[in-house]
């Protein structure tokens, strides 16, 4: 009975860890003026055993757009105890150093469930969400008016990478919503 709540909490922590690892991987030299694509592969270890693979791709068809894809899996014995797979994708346009997302999709599978969330962004900060299954947290965030004007986590990564590329510090606050959780990401230089 306690495994499900602990696993849910663990997945939230895992998501925060993945977000932090993605941010650490970006550097100005990788996103130079001539480069419109960056790929990072990560391996997570528990002592000497690899337990995680993570792939992060950033691409841009032109200087005013972005697409970020992130996928990851638990591996080995940990995966046999806690099967986990995620595939996230985000795309949008850029206005100066700001990300303007148009579409975000999160597909996360565990042993007990598969959850797909799609966010579609429109003018004025309006967002439509389709959750399969719908999350109570996501519905409450919409009902409380907390979602309008937010961006998805991968758009936040794209925005931070653009700021670094432009030689700007990463100070500021971003309002982020991933379909379940609404949080402010505060960065200090």
> 117-169 pLDDT, tens per residue?
999 999 888 899 998 888 888 899 989 999 998 999 999 998 888 888 778 87
What is the spatial distance between Cα 51 and Cα 31, in angstroms, rounded to a whole number?
29
Q: What percent of the chain has pLDDT over 90?
A: 51
Local confidence band at 60 (pLDDT 50, 70, 90 cut-offs) = confident
Is the torsion defined by CA of 36, 153, 43, 87 positive or negative? negative
- For residue 16, the tally of other CB atoms under 10 A from its CB is 13
- Predicted pLDDT of residue 95: 85
Cis peptide bond upstream of 31, omega within 30: no
Cis peptide bond upstream of 133, omega within 30: yes
Q: What is the pTM of this model?
A: 0.79
Average pLDDT, the chain: 82
* Contact of 115 with 188, CB cutoff 8 Å: no
């Amino acid at each position: 009975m306690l495994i499900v709540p602990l696993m849910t909490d663990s997945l939230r922590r895992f998501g925060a860890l993945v977000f932090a690892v993605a941010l650490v991987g970006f550097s100005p030299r990788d996103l130079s003026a001539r480069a419109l694509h960056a790929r990072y592969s990560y391996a997570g270890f528990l002592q000497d055993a690899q337990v995680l693979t993570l792939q992060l791709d950033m691409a841009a068809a032109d200087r005013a757009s972005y697409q970020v894809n992130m996928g990851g899996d638990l591996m080995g014995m940990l995966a046999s105890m806690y099967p986990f797979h995620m595939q996230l994708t985000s795309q949008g346009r850029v206005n100066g150093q700001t990300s303007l997302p148009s579409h975000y999709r999160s597909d996360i599978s565990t042993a007990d469930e598969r959850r797909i969330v799609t966010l579609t962004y429109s003018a004025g900060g309006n967002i439509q969400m389709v959750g399969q299954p719908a999350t109570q947290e996501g519905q409450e965030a919409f009902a409380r008016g907390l979602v309008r004007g937010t961006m998805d986590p991968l758009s936040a990564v794209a925005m931070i990478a653009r700021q670094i590329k432009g030689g700007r510090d990463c100070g500021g606050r971003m309002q982020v919503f991933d379909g379940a959780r609404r949080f402010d990401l505060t960065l200090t230089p």
